[in-house]
A = this chain, B = another copy of it.
């Protein structure tokens, strides 16, 4: 029996379009017959290495204004609740991402990640404080305080750094990013359908 193809879904909790992709990917992947590997990472260090001290949506105000309007339209199109803006934007996602890295091989990674995104962009809540992350973990029936303590261990912090290096070395420059088994990179929520089709073995037009 052929192994089921896998699509890696690289996401950043502070990223608006990662939120949309997280809300859409499970249903679309099931239809496409593709397994999804959720890969939390921090985009901040990659932006910093490009000389950006904040989100490009803050650095370039016209771009930022249209991004929020586009999020309103896209959320409506996807049947999601109206988008709320966390204050400040982008949120510091370090604690949440450390927790997600700890949960990388745990069955709570996906529900945790979706809960963080919803808290941030459907409710406009802060996800920056460790207490907010503890509350989300508790809501999943975990011992949030204990998990966040483990997430702050040197071993887990090292894992997060290694993941960041992996992101950079595989050509990731934004979020969300989708990577197929054969290393094809698709950037942005707008490419989720094409990434899944590629993962499932389809090729566009004359690339067959």
Contacts and interface: CB of A to CB of B under 8 A. Distances in A.
Nearest to A61: B173
Interface of A (DSSP majority class): helix
A161 interface: no
Contacts of A78: 205
Interface of A: 50, 59-60, 62-63, 65-66, 69-70, 72-79, 82, 171-174, 184-188, 190-191, 194, 203-207
A65 B207 contact: no
Contact of A204 (B66, B73, B184, B187): B73
Number of copies: 2
Contacts of A69: 184-185
Nearest to A62: B173
Contacts of A204: 73-74, 76-77
A138 B70 CA distance: 41
Contacts of A186: 70
